[in-house]
Structure 1
């Protein structure tokens, strides 16, 4: 039976709007249903309206204006969006910076210099001028000097990769070959990582 009085309608409206506040379960259920509805609208509305940038001729199509003799041609303004990049281009290589090569050799020389009786603090002080503070504090403080097999550098550094702001250099010692990764910082080239081969 239809509601015929304003008083009856108000009671029905109050009951509908008050339902979510009756219990926490009602409130959570209402929020879940509302989230589902909003998500569905967010997915379906762009498909129904169409993507921006599409014209009647298709996406990225350029419009052409036709004119009849004696009638001014309409002015058509079109814009084409640049193509979307699908992959990041590789960084461009740069010629090796000799300062970086020098720092790599001096770092490996200081790394291999650990005579008997040298403390870890003394060894770290020898590496400090060539190493980033972060790498020195987080990685090199835990190095056991007795486990460093090399004692001196015996070869010239060989540049493996060279970019504008970083490079990798191999330095041959009397034991393993050491690969040093350097980064160009405000004070100059500094070592951020090293690995030993063999």
Structure 2
């Protein structure tokens, strides 16, 4: 039967609160139950509060304001531009074999005729070659002893090996083999910039 008066409720409350004081055994049971309830509350309550305070944020999603995400995000390395490619190919000839500027072949011929002429001193030999060479190559030829040049005459016409936009590679036949000569176009016209003596 339900309690309908305040006096009846107060009597029930006094009975409940007075139960632990009835005997030492009741007091021990009451203390044990209180300690058990407090321990359970100390374990469960922090977990509930922590779960509500720090919600799980999926990887890759932005954390809500005021919440620090504990999920590490992977670092991504990106390249902004590809590395430059080194060009190793040689320039293609602008004309085929045998077709080269006539002034270039003429300079090679004149240079070759003076190159095989050993009359006079080394300074005179170099002076005859200088008008047909670049200044840089004239300085290199200054160290060459004409006595080491075995060819004594040009034995045939100058032939173009390859022709580029600003240079021509030609071959000159001599009595001591073919000489390969490179001529380049400068502000002063075509000039010899290098040579290599071939085999007889």
TM-score, structure 1 as length reference: 0.55
Partner of 1:93: 93
Partner of 1:183: 184
Partner of 1:130: 132
Post-superposition CA distance 1:63-86 (Å, at most 9, x none):
xxxxxxxxxxxxxxxxxx899646
SS at match of 2:75: helix
Change (3 A) 1:98 1:87: same
Cα offset, 1:190, TM superposition: 0.9
User: 2-side partners of 1:140 and 1:134: how far apart?
Assistant: 9
Structure 2: state its 5+ residue gaps.
1-73
Count, aligned residues: 122
Structure 1: state its 5+ residue gaps.
1-46, 54-80
Work out whether 1:112 is the aligned partner of 2:139.
no
1:68-79 equivalence runs, <5 A: none
Instruction: Provide runs of 4+ in structure 1 moved above 3 Å.
Output: 47-50, 81-90
Contact 1:181–1:194 (CA under 8 A) maintained in structure 2 = yes
The alignment's C-alpha RMSD in Å is 2.3
Cα offset, 1:186, TM superposition: 0.7
Within the candidate set 43, 48, 73, 2:75 is matched to: 48
Change (3 A) 1:82 1:194: same
Partner of 1:197: 198
Post-superposition CA distance 1:41-62 (Å, at most 9, x none):
xxxxxx9353255xxxxxxxxx
User: 2-side partners of 1:144 and 1:121: how far apart?
Assistant: 10
Post-superposition CA distance 1:84-131 (Å, at most 9, x none):
64645531312311111111111111100112xx01111111111110
Structure showing greater radius of gyration is: 2
